[in-house]
Chains A and B, each alone.
Chain A
Amino acid sequence: MRIVVCIKHVPDTAEVRIDQERGTLIREGVPGILNPLDAHAVEAAVRLKDELSARTTALTMGPPQAEEALREALAHGCDEGVLLTDPAFAGADTLSTSYTLACAIRQMGDVDLVLCGKQAIDGDTAQVGPGIAAHLGWPQLTYARRITSLGGGTIEVERMTDYGNETIRAKLPAVVTALKDLNVPRLPSLVSRMSARRAEIQRRGAGDVEGERSMFGLDGSPTHVVRVFTPPPRGECAIFDGEPEQAAADLVRALKERRII
């Protein structure tokens, strides 16, 4: 069995400072980390590898420094790391990113399962996992909180929805996106950290990935970020303070006046 984990190198939002005058994030000098939700996808892959003696490949697309995220995945137990890096990939939106990753996965040939984190903490779109499934024409099992079974050509996953948990089964190959409830990622040991540091990362450029070049990077991206801004506060806000009984009575009256209750 072969498992691919798609990961992203993201800025450590805990270290990002805000430019007070412009209201934008200061990305300069902010260290990059493995996207936290992807760490759960990595852990899931490594546990399946231990159970089923699978081969696990961490895959990412990004600038050369995204290699750090791959090394993090290797330190957590993945067998190999593949970095798709090329100026031609730059400026990709979620459509183009998922297309490029899907091309690389298809090219690997023998992949049974793709794991992704639910979403990345920088873009928060949760679109790349489902996008990969769509490009590959594989089933997608999103918001997984538990992998209940894997084998015999199928996977069964418990997924979290707004209305409760549901268990779904799909034929392999398939794409699963992970919630943080899926597992607790292990602590990388001295041995795994050192072997990850010494590991060879496989680099692939646009010429190495079989796909429509016009679908790569900015050219293949219909989405353009026009402006980033903080939304204005919505509506008015009333605070009812004072003694709890009085405050509760005031709140009920206000809700009735607005015909909410």
Chain B
Amino acid sequence: MNELRPYPLDEPDRNYRAVSGADNVRQGYAKYLEDESRLAADAVEAIDFPTNPRQVATALLDALRAGGRVAVSGGRTGITGAAVPIGAERIISLELLKSTPLVRKLDDGQWAVHVGAGLTLQELGDALAHGLCEYPDGKPEQALFYPVDTTETTAQLGGTIATNASGARTLFYGPTRRWVEWLRIVTPDGRLLDLRRGQVAAQDGALRYARADGRVARLDISDLPMPPTKHTAGYYLRPGMDAVDLFVGSEGTLGIIVEAELRLAERPAGRLFFTQFAPGPDAAAELCAACKEHPDLTPLALEYMGPRALALLRSKGRQTPAYMEVARLPAEAEAALYTELPFEDEPQLDRIYQALRNILGSLGLEAEHSWAGFSEKDLQQMKRLRHAIPEAINTIIGQRKAQAAELHKVGTDMAVPDRHLKQMMSIYRERLRESGLENVTFGHIGNGHLHVNILPRSAEELAQAERLYLEFAREAVRLGGSVAAEHGIGRIKKPFLAVQYAPEHIEAMRRIKRTLDPAGILNPGVLFDD
């Protein structure tokens, strides 16, 4: 079947809280006007707080009738401004869509969890770990978890699906898309659409959409040249694609995801958390490549910290929650590689240990200059150290903003295929050196996905940094990579969609948007200009 068949609401449900009046919103609900990006909206006329999917559909229908446009609000942890309600008159906040997660067995014997869009990743993680879900098929014997591990655990699940969120463990587990089994969506015309993976897929280059007036519209699914890397720029369009994938990563522009069923993964019996300190970036990159290639190693994550990241930690990290870990950094380290290696039993751990010793030996790296652990505590400490880098950057930028309000950090999000990683790293290094701009590099090296953060000191440097970003984006695309590997396009990265795709590809996406949302009611200004 290739037809999307939304069904209308039986009756409206207005039994939810709403705040109205731009002044009321500004005074009491200002946080809804901004997200973790530097963008903020001046005001909206109203915020709705529905508690179930019918109420979401009612709120949307009411907005449609009143001619107002709607911004969808989740945890607002995104950094590209997709949740900032610029150009919208209303906000629909999904934070109260929080039923108790329900764990059930799928037909293929695997387990999944049914959740409301407003549940946070942290809440889901806690519920799964402490057995606080509902279990109609009985409690599973194995320890299950949801493997998407974004840095911000206050992210709400609806938002993580709408942005196809990823994290450090995406290296092994893939991004959110891979775990989405079923979605309940409120369509832009206020109907409800239930989609189970495997039931609706594109045929002959098209999906079909049953409109409210009874006619069926054609959604052309052109074959986008999507890079083989992590990628979240624009819609996912591919011949034969599953309809679920159209909505995952569409940044709230094609429908409001209100409920979902997410597959769960089995926790490995044990994990070795391992950080190796290295004399420079090349050694860390070589170690990363060796870990990926070795048959006895299956890294769940491979994360990099560059020389300037470590220097930043040494100079500013003592004011972060990672002060203890920073104090213990070996003085000679110029770069570091973190990995997480699962094992089922002690003989397997022995093989992993031997493999690591061999790799370190062959690369001339000192096994003594490492940090290893097996416990959750060790994992938390290593995470704390990595997370201290963006925190330290934000502190510096915060101080500079006090002098010049327009300043902000410029953080890149490009990924390239593995074989081009070293080349991309050397492009970053050379161009940054020439520019004289202050910069820090860290991130998901295993996915060819490093975040270069530029810290401008003046308006001129900010403009220079943004030009450099565009240049890096072009280089990444030239090397077969993505301009937006995980942060998405939102509002602030729209120029890069045109770097990634030809005009006809972007037009193919816009046609889908126009067919599903002819009134342009949902998340105006996100992905495309109005």
State how many angstroms separate the Cβ of A13 from the closest Cβ of chain B. Answer: 12
Residues of chain B within 8 A (CB-CB) of A33 are 375, 377
Residues of chain B within 8 A (CB-CB) of A191 are 367-368, 370
Interface check B371, CB cutoff 8 A: yes
Q: Are B377 and A190 in contact (CB under 8 A)?
A: no
Q: Are B371 and A188 in contact (CB under 8 A)?
A: yes
Residues of chain A within 8 A (CB-CB) of B372 are 188-190, 193-194
Q: Are A29 and B130 in contact (CB under 8 A)?
A: yes
Interface check B327, CB cutoff 8 A: yes
Interface check A253, CB cutoff 8 A: no
Contact with B along A82-125 (1 / 0, CB 8 A): 00000000000000000000000000000000000000000000
- The answer, among A75, A184, A187, A189, for a CB contact under 8 Å with B367, is A189
Contact with A along B341-374 (1 / 0, CB 8 A): 0000000010001001100000000011111111
Query: CA–CA, A191 to B372, complex, Å?
Result: 8
Residues of chain B within 8 A (CB-CB) of A186 are 328
Residues of chain A within 8 A (CB-CB) of B367 are 189-191
State how many angstroms separate the Cβ of B269 from the closest Cβ of chain A. Answer: 14
Interface check A31, CB cutoff 8 A: yes
Residues of chain A within 8 A (CB-CB) of B274 are 190
Q: Are A187 and B377 in contact (CB under 8 A)?
A: no
Query: CA–CA, A75 to B370, complex, Å?
Result: 12
Interface check A139, CB cutoff 8 A: no
Query: CA–CA, A187 to B324, complex, Å?
Result: 10
Query: CA–CA, A12 to B371, complex, Å?
Result: 20
State how many angstroms separate the Cβ of B166 from the closest Cβ of chain A. Answer: 26
Interface check A185, CB cutoff 8 A: yes
Query: CA–CA, A191 to B369, complex, Å?
Result: 10
Query: CA–CA, A197 to B270, complex, Å?
Result: 13
Residues of chain A within 8 A (CB-CB) of B324 are 184
Q: Are A184 and B371 in contact (CB under 8 A)?
A: no
Residues of chain B within 8 A (CB-CB) of A188 are 371-373
Q: Are B377 and A12 in contact (CB under 8 A)?
A: yes
Query: CA–CA, A190 to B378, complex, Å?
Result: 12
Residues of chain A within 8 A (CB-CB) of B325 are 187
Residues of chain B within 8 A (CB-CB) of A197 are 349, 374
Q: Which residue of B lies closest to A187 (CB)?
A: B371
Residues of chain B within 8 A (CB-CB) of A194 are 353, 372
Q: In terms of DSSP, what is the predominant structure of the interface of chain B?
A: mixed
Q: Are B356 and A187 in contact (CB under 8 A)?
A: no
Interface check B204, CB cutoff 8 A: no
State how many angstroms separate the Cβ of A185 from the closest Cβ of chain B. Answer: 7
Q: Are B353 and A190 in contact (CB under 8 A)?
A: yes
Query: CA–CA, A189 to B275, complex, Å?
Result: 9
Q: Are A189 and B370 in contact (CB under 8 A)?
A: yes
Query: CA–CA, A186 to B371, complex, Å?
Result: 9
State how many angstroms separate the Cβ of B39 from the closest Cβ of chain A. Answer: 34
Interface check B376, CB cutoff 8 A: yes
State how many angstroms separate the Cβ of B319 from the closest Cβ of chain A. Answer: 17
Q: Which residue of A lies closest to B273 (CB)?
A: A193
State how many angstroms separate the Cβ of A182 from the closest Cβ of chain B. Answer: 13
Query: CA–CA, A153 to B36, complex, Å?
Result: 61
Q: Are B373 and A31 in contact (CB under 8 A)?
A: no
State how many angstroms separate the Cβ of A47 from the closest Cβ of chain B. Answer: 14
Q: Are A190 and B370 in contact (CB under 8 A)?
A: yes
Contact flag A31-B377 (CB < 8 Å), given A184-B328, A186-B328, A194-B353 = yes
Query: CA–CA, A244 to B440, complex, Å?
Result: 41
Contact with A along B126-155 (1 / 0, CB 8 A): 000010000000000000000000000000
Residues of chain B within 8 A (CB-CB) of A75 are 373
Contact flag A31-B376 (CB < 8 Å), given A190-B356, A190-B370, A191-B367 = yes
Query: CA–CA, A196 to B438, complex, Å?
Result: 42
Contact with A along B364-399 (1 / 0, CB 8 A): 000111111111110000000000000000000000
Q: Are A189 and B369 in contact (CB under 8 A)?
A: yes
Residues of chain A within 8 A (CB-CB) of B327 are 184
A29, A187, A194, A197 — most chain B CB neighbours (10 Å): A187
Residues of chain B within 8 A (CB-CB) of A189 are 367-372
Q: Are A185 and B130 in contact (CB under 8 A)?
A: no
State how many angstroms separate the Cβ of A122 from the closest Cβ of chain B. Answer: 15
- The answer, among A29, A31, A184, for a CB contact under 8 Å with B375, is A31
State how many angstroms separate the Cβ of A159 from the closest Cβ of chain B. Answer: 22
Residues of chain A within 8 A (CB-CB) of B330 are 187
Contact with B along A154-189 (1 / 0, CB 8 A): 000000000000000000000000000000111111
Q: Are B328 and A193 in contact (CB under 8 A)?
A: no
Query: CA–CA, A172 to B354, complex, Å?
Result: 43
Query: CA–CA, A31 to B380, complex, Å?
Result: 13
Q: Which residue of A lies closest to B330 (CB)?
A: A187
Query: CA–CA, A33 to B328, complex, Å?
Result: 19
Query: CA–CA, A184 to B328, complex, Å?
Result: 7
Query: CA–CA, A186 to B329, complex, Å?
Result: 9
- The answer, among B130, B373, B376, for a CB contact under 8 Å with A193, is B373
Q: Are B374 and A193 in contact (CB under 8 A)?
A: yes
State how many angstroms separate the Cβ of A120 from the closest Cβ of chain B. Answer: 16
Q: Which residue of A lies closest to B377 (CB)?
A: A33
Contact with A along B296-337 (1 / 0, CB 8 A): 000000000000000000000000000011011010000000
Residues of chain B within 8 A (CB-CB) of A187 are 275, 325, 328, 330, 370-371
Contact with A along B238-269 (1 / 0, CB 8 A): 00000000000000000000000000000000
Query: CA–CA, A36 to B368, complex, Å?
Result: 23
Please name the 7 residue pairs, one residue from A and one from B, whose CB atoms are nearest each other, closest first.
Answer: A187-B371, A193-B372, A190-B372, A190-B370, A184-B327, A189-B370, A187-B328
Q: A31-B376, A33-B377, A189-B372 are in contact. List 17 more A-B contacts (CB 8 A).
A: A12-B377, A31-B377, A75-B373, A184-B328, A187-B325, A187-B328, A187-B370, A188-B372, A188-B373, A190-B274, A190-B276, A190-B353, A190-B356, A190-B357, A190-B372, A191-B367, A194-B353
Could you tell me which B residues sit within 8 Å of A by CB distance? 130, 274-276, 324-325, 327-328, 330, 349, 353, 356-357, 367-377
**Pairs across A and B, CB under 8 Å, 18 listed:** A29-B130, A33-B375, A68-B375, A184-B324, A184-B328, A185-B328, A187-B325, A187-B370, A189-B367, A189-B369, A189-B372, A190-B370, A190-B372, A191-B367, A191-B370, A193-B373, A194-B372, A197-B349
